Amino acid sequence: MKHLDLGCGSNPQNPYGADELFGVDIYPGVTELGPNFRCANLAVNALPYEDNFFDSVSAFDVLEHIPRQAIDFQSGEVKLPFIRLMEEVWRILKPNGLFYAFTPAYPSNQAFQDPTHVNFISSETHTYFCDEDAYAKRYGFKGQFKAVEVEWMYSTYAKTAKRSWKIALKNWHKQHIKPGRSHLVWQLKATKP
């Protein structure tokens, strides 16, 4: 199995335990991690991989940094970087490949407190990319996902805990600290012919 971690930094994540780990980040130093790591600006560049290459892709605290709209002042065109990135993720995933996204979301303060957050995710944002009549297709999106999991999580442990610990922690939080869930987890399956 091959897994790609978007915005991997110096500590790439591998939530599905894939055999081969790849990463892409905006910082050029990422290439020092090895030949499977590449530098790209996810808001501007296409993902530097061929179609149907990965079994899974993850994005931990990344989607909130991808603009929803950008203006190309030379051409006068309005670009849609977030929709394009979601299409790129779909493109590089194999049929039934999984996209795992972990992102601060509205109405949590964490969605807004970082001044580099320019894309505000809600509990329904994923629906724009799911099913045959995905609303993002009106904006040129050519992919299709199916939601496998969409749930609120707590930021402190969700990225590093193993799945069994995540479940135990989540259950404890549900019983004791209901407010404070700050991040949404998406698990979306790439639907392809």
> Tens digits of per-residue pLDDT, 27-50?
999 999 999 999 999 999 999 999
For 2-155+182-190, CATH number out of 2.130.10.10, 3.30.1330.10, 3.40.50.150, 3.90.45.10 equals: 3.40.50.150
pLDDT beyond 80 at 125: yes
Average pLDDT over all residues of the chain:
89
Q: What is the pLDDT of residue 110?
A: 85
Rounded Cα distance between 74 and 1, Å, is: 41
Token pair belonging to 176: 């004791």
Cβ atoms of 26 and 40 within 8 Å: the answer is yes
Contact 2, 54 (CB under 8 A): yes
Instruction: Flag whether pLDDT at 87 surpasses 80.
Output: yes
